[in-house]
Amino acid sequence: MSKLRRYLPIFEWLPGYGREELASDGLAGLIVAIMLVPQGMAYALLAGLPPEVGLYASIVPLVFYGVLGSSRALAVGPVAIVSLMVASTLGELHAGGSAGYLSGAILLAFLSGAILLGMGLARLGFLVNFLSHPVISGFSSAAALVIGFSQLKYLLGIDIPRTHLITETIGHAVSQIGQTNLVTFGIAATSLTILLVFKTRLAGWLAALGVARGHAQVLAKAGPLVAVFLTTMAVWLLGLDQSAGVMIVADIPSGLPPLAAPGFDMALIQELFPAAALIALVGFLESVSVAKSLASKRRQKVDANQELIALGAANIGASFTGGYPVAGGFGRSLVNFTAGAVTPLASIITAGLIAITVLFLTPLIYFLPQATLAAIIVIAVFDLIDVKALRDAWAYNRADAASLMVTFAAVLSVGVELGIVFGAALSIALYLWRTSRPHMAEVGRVGETEHFRNVLRHKVTTDPKVLMVRVDESLYFANTAYLEDALLARVSERPEIEHLVLIMSAVNFIDASALESLERMIERLRNAGVTLHLAEVKGPVMDRLDRVSFLQELGKGRVFLSTHEASDALSGGARIRAA
Amino acid sequence: MSKLRRYLPIFEWLPGYGREELASDGLAGLIVAIMLVPQGMAYALLAGLPPEVGLYASIVPLVFYGVLGSSRALAVGPVAIVSLMVASTLGELHAGGSAGYLSGAILLAFLSGAILLGMGLARLGFLVNFLSHPVISGFSSAAALVIGFSQLKYLLGIDIPRTHLITETIGHAVSQIGQTNLVTFGIAATSLTILLVFKTRLAGWLAALGVARGHAQVLAKAGPLVAVFLTTMAVWLLGLDQSAGVMIVADIPSGLPPLAAPGFDMALIQELFPAAALIALVGFLESVSVAKSLASKRRQKVDANQELIALGAANIGASFTGGYPVAGGFGRSLVNFTAGAVTPLASIITAGLIAITVLFLTPLIYFLPQATLAAIIVIAVFDLIDVKALRDAWAYNRADAASLMVTFAAVLSVGVELGIVFGAALSIALYLWRTSRPHMAEVGRVGETEHFRNVLRHKVTTDPKVLMVRVDESLYFANTAYLEDALLARVSERPEIEHLVLIMSAVNFIDASALESLERMIERLRNAGVTLHLAEVKGPVMDRLDRVSFLQELGKGRVFLSTHEASDALSGGARIRAA
């Protein structure tokens, strides 16, 4: 039973489930469903897929996640960035709307699901930690721009070829601005206005009118519903699709999603695999950060590996029911949480309501203008553009700011997939670069205390015969040559030095390359008449040195417990004040 | 002038050059030339090239290196591992011996020369530090095995197709063992015996006879010359090439190397570029480690970036004079050094002697058996197999041993180029993995001192309301999630905790991701009624924290200079002894 619980979190909450929870989850499920219908269709269009694919991806995946997920509030379904990545992957292979395009999207869902599931079973959830915040921030901001501009064609009713280069998109838009369909643009402008007002003002107005804060916040999320209702009615009543050429959602096949296995074409699988891995990673990253931030508000726990399994199952579920890759969406999960979802049953209720929609309600959205869906996307992704993150990073640490900017630029110039890979590689390279040139500080005694500090920052006393250097980094292959050169240079500059004490308080490990380098250094220093000593070696580091003959190689050199002890033993009374 | 000196080290030693130096360099140059003639031809054959290409690569490159190199003893020319990499790169593109194969080798020399030169001008010499010792050791051992077995066909006089898979080579050899040319095998066995005796015994015997140690060491290097002389005479006098089918070097075009620009075919350049970059890196690595180890014996300095420039020029020189990629060879440089080379003029003298050889002496080596050259290669690469490195790494650190073994296995199973890339990536991944799960120690006070140590390793006193944790790693994106989870788990397990003190003595920097994580942690701890404090924050880390609003976010939390101070302030008198 405990094993079952571990893999099926549903057994944790289902036994104690009662009426109160059901009311709460029911309301949240309804609100998310109302939000998800237009959003799902909009993101499917963004991915270059028919709108119903977005709805299909909002049924079975939600049920699977509800049973397996460890987060109580994550709302799974189509999300903007993953949709963009699907479009950018498949856009290179197939014309939008072709049968190959759709089956490619289904295969992507299966592959990323299988990758997520495999990572979860292999407990590889930690891999996501190797994407740094600046890289994620640069990636999201750039992706949001790409997504936003990709909607220009729907907002203006003009024809812009799909491209990942934002400059090309803008160029096309400018050159065809004369062909703008003014009615379409009017619908878009109205939708944008409604969405913005709901998003930024309505809660305040309602609060001023005395509506309870919680209710006001939920009502403020109804912007998409209102925009969809008003613009659909306008198109229907005025016949704008016929008279003004406004593009509408039109016929959506009614009935439940088709149940079919994805087509397993080995060549295509090989071709799509890298993109599927990136989609899996990015989708997981978005989901797990949302889930963690919501869980911490209610002191619940999210298990990254269980999330991998649940999202994997959700994606595989999508692939068998005509859907495309899904993830936990930020905005939607926040609505779910705010609206009162207490268990994943809320998601299952959402799924049920979406199923009812595709079964019976598709005629109601026949006249829904695509411009309205585009407006919903634009407003949703606008929040992803994070200028503050760049400003903060710039103020704090230029290397982080560089990662952010390079990722941003790479996504815009070479595309979403390569862009994030490039950013991640750069952030790792910058870390390696930093650790390959460790900070070293010569230290001296502070007054008559037992404290030793950097001679450049503090007023300390030193002994010209004893050089005491604190190395502020673990010793490993990438920094041994630097360390060796720097220390030997210091020694050769000051011939009066007889002892070199390496203070190891910040050295957390010494790898085999660094060990060799230290042994070589002992030898070279000995030739120069200098004895190498160590001080403040940590327990785990000392344990390893004890395993090999290093302590014998030290010869006359000693290992001191503290810098103070080293100084007393090597300098005796002789001390002079540092300049 | 000082700028000229910086880029042309020849101006450092030429002005003070005298007779004594000339005598010393002359002798060393002669000895290296005698060694280089058979070795150069042997390595060219290993690379799948005509023997004269190895001689051509031993003239102009040596002169260029002599003028530009910062090492006084490095002997440049064809080397085993680079030759193997040339063979493995070109073997996939062309049949051995074809015109395309030769022009490919020349282009590889040009490309790796250009890459080295570019890296030198961009001062990228540090890049080589990212190859760890275990990776280099695993790579060299595996490459030596591949090289050794590739010579079986020459040693046995049978036909084995070129392959990078050692198992296939052995399989072919076993299945054709019946076709062994016994005379060839006899020549090989004789050569191997001569080489082994000279290498392992002769110096001892001569010393016992009273020969001076230095002379004995130089004479012991004459093994290849003796083997070449005896086996060539035997083939010539007995007509073994005709009567017994012994493969010989045969006609070598006499005259200086052809002066011609390499063919610049853009498609081929793109194809060869990655391999050229690896050849450049490996060649540079071998050269610079030899140069550094020799320089340190005479207290001279080697400038890695200058070496890049000199080796780049040497390779470009090779490509314009019919040669193939060169590097500083280990054995040859040691001979040069031992024989008394004091300046790079020794190399220039060697080059002159090799030029005389190709002009006038090629008829003398007409009957030189290929089996003898193969024996020279086998004995030369045998030293590269380093079992002790594995044993040492295994004893010291399993992660290093794993890098070594994986690199070794990868070179043998997927080839030299991919193998070293894989090994390097693995060693970096292992480092990142290690730093992503930092060691954390809860500390307590040792007796009544100001020292605080790990509660698990020492007898210390702690206060149940104050949790003091030392984090033994810099905080960066890959370990923030781990740290956050681990610290919050400790706090939630012990509800009596009111203060969490992070001891930052081993934290050398905090990147932007970790800063965000700390800020999130302050908030989460505050919700749990726990205040976060810092202690022993290093100067550079504190400087950065001061730049942003972090210290305000700490709220009631404080930054203590020492753990002792934190303990005094937070615990007052209350202390209990740890279990």
> CA-to-CA distance for A183 and A194, rounded, in angstroms?
17
CB pair distance less than 8 Å for A396 and B480: no
The partner residue sitting opposite B548, judged by closest CB among A396, A505, A511, is A396
User: Is the CB of residue A87 less than 8 Å from the CB of residue A162?
Assistant: yes
Identify all chain B residues contacting A451, using CB atoms and an 8 Å cutoff. Answer: 562
**What sign results for the dihedral spanned by CA atoms A176, A177, A183, A187?**
positive
Residue-level pLDDT at B227? 92
Identify all chain B residues contacting A134, using CB atoms and an 8 Å cutoff. Answer: 512-513
- Whether B526 contacts chain A with CB within 8 A: no
Shortest CA gap B505–chain A (Å): 6
- Whether B427 contacts chain A with CB within 8 A: yes
CB pair distance less than 8 Å for B134 and A513: yes
Kindly identify which residue of chain B lies nearest to residue A456, measuring between CA atoms: B539
Mean pLDDT (whole number) for B511-515:
91
Residue B499 confidence (pLDDT) above 90: yes
What does B230-272 look like in DSSP terms, one character per residue?
Answer: HHHHHHHHHTHHHHS---B------SSPP--PPP--HHHHHHH
Residue-level pLDDT at B3? 64
- Whether B508 contacts chain A with CB within 8 A: yes
Lowest mean pLDDT among A125-134, B105-114, B116-125: A125-134
CB pair distance less than 8 Å for A129 and B480: yes
Phi, psi of A460, deg, nearest 5: -135, 165
Per the structure block, which two tokens stand in for A31?
Answer: 């609100």
The pLDDT tens digits for B9-19 are 777 777 778 88
* List of residues 6+ apart from A258 with CB closer than 8 A: A56, A321, A322
Q: How would you label B306-338 residue by residue, b for 16+ Cβ within 10 Å and e otherwise?
A: bbbbbbbbbbbbbbbbbbbbbbbbbbbbbbbbb
Shortest CA gap B395–chain A (Å): 7
Hey, of A390, A431, A480, which one would you mutate to test binding to chain B, going by the most B CBs within 10 A of its CB?
A431
Confidence class of residue B96 from pLDDT cuts 50, 70 and 90?
A: low
CB pair distance less than 8 Å for A427 and B509: no
Phi, psi of B327, deg, nearest 5: -155, 180
Residue B517 confidence (pLDDT) above 60: yes
CB pair distance less than 8 Å for A482 and B431: no
Q: Give me the residues of B, 30-69, that contact A with CB < 8 A.
A: none
> CA-to-CA distance for B76 and B68, rounded, in angstroms?
12
Shortest CA gap B514–chain A (Å): 9
Identify all chain A residues contacting B509, using CB atoms and an 8 Å cutoff. Answer: 434
Kindly identify which residue of chain B lies nearest to residue A542, measuring between CA atoms: B396
Q: How would you label A529-542 residue by residue, b for 16+ Cβ within 10 Å and e otherwise?
A: ebbbbbbbbbeebe
Residues of chain A short of pLDDT 50, as ranges, are 573-579
Identify all chain A residues contacting B126, using CB atoms and an 8 Å cutoff. Answer: 436, 481-482
Residue-level pLDDT at B95? 65
Confidence class of residue B299 from pLDDT cuts 50, 70 and 90?
A: low
Residue-level pLDDT at A96? 62
Share of chain B above pLDDT 70, in %: 96
Identify all chain B residues contacting A442, using CB atoms and an 8 Å cutoff. Answer: none
Residue-level pLDDT at A2? 61
The partner residue sitting opposite A513, judged by closest CB among B126, B133, B547, is B133
- Whether B457 contacts chain A with CB within 8 A: yes
Shortest CA gap B191–chain A (Å): 36
Identify all chain B residues contacting A132, using CB atoms and an 8 Å cutoff. Answer: 476-478, 511-513
- The 3-state DSSP class for residue B521 equals helix
Average pLDDT, chain B: 87
- Strand A327-328 vs strand B452-454: parallel, antiparallel, or unpaired? unpaired
Count CB atoms within 10 A of the CB of residue A97. 11
Residue-level pLDDT at B260? 86
Shortest CA gap B534–chain A (Å): 16
ipTM of the complex in this document? 0.81
* List of residues 6+ apart from A525 with CB closer than 8 A: A488, A491, A500, A531, A532
- Whether B305 contacts chain A with CB within 8 A: no
Mean pLDDT (whole number) for B84-111:
86
The partner residue sitting opposite B457, judged by closest CB among A450, A539, A548, is A539
Shortest CA gap B239–chain A (Å): 52
The partner residue sitting opposite B478, judged by closest CB among A130, A396, A548, is A130
Identify all chain A residues contacting B478, using CB atoms and an 8 Å cutoff. Answer: 129-130, 132, 431
The single-letter code of the amino acid at B160 is I
Hey, of A476, A524, A564, which one would you mutate to test binding to chain B, going by the most B CBs within 10 A of its CB?
A476
- The 3-state DSSP class for residue B441 equals strand
Residue-level pLDDT at B576? 43
User: Is the CB of residue A311 less than 8 Å from the CB of residue A116?
Assistant: yes
Mean pLDDT (whole number) for B491-519:
90
- Whether A298 contacts chain B with CB within 8 A: no
Residue-level pLDDT at A73? 86
CB pair distance less than 8 Å for B511 and A397: yes
The pLDDT tens digits for B329-383 are 888 888 888 878 888 899 999 999 999 999 998 888 899 999 998 998 898 888 8
CB pair distance less than 8 Å for A482 and B516: no
CB pair distance less than 8 Å for A513 and B478: no
Residue-level pLDDT at A10? 76
Share of chain B above pLDDT 90, in %: 37
> Tokens 């070794």 belong to which residue?
B408
Mean pLDDT (whole number) for B126-146:
87
Residue-level pLDDT at A5? 67
Mean pLDDT (whole number) for B204-217:
83
- Whether B505 contacts chain A with CB within 8 A: yes
Confidence class of residue B168 from pLDDT cuts 50, 70 and 90?
A: confident
CB pair distance less than 8 Å for B396 and A515: yes
Identify all chain A residues contacting B299, using CB atoms and an 8 Å cutoff. Answer: 527
User: Is the CB of residue A92 less than 8 Å from the CB of residue A275?
Assistant: no
Shortest CA gap A250–chain B (Å): 46
- The 3-state DSSP class for residue A180 equals coil
- Class of residue A335 by CB neighbours under 10 A (exposed 0-12, middle 13-18, buried 19+): buried
- Whether B126 contacts chain A with CB within 8 A: yes
Residue-level pLDDT at A577? 40
What does A31-69 look like in DSSP terms, one character per residue?
Answer: HHHHHHHHHHHHHHHHTTS-HHHHHHTTTHHHHHHHHH-
Residue B181 confidence (pLDDT) above 60: yes
The pLDDT tens digits for A443-468 are 999 888 888 888 988 888 889 999 99
Per the structure block, which two tokens stand in for B348?
Answer: 């220039």
> CA-to-CA distance for A93 and A91, rounded, in angstroms?
5
The pLDDT tens digits for A287-331 are 988 887 777 667 677 888 999 999 999 999 999 999 999 999 888
CB pair distance less than 8 Å for B505 and A508: no
Mean pLDDT (whole number) for B248-259:
85
> CA-to-CA distance for B564 and A575, rounded, in angstroms?
26
User: Is the CB of residue B63 less than 8 Å from the CB of residue B317?
Assistant: yes
- Whether B394 contacts chain A with CB within 8 A: no
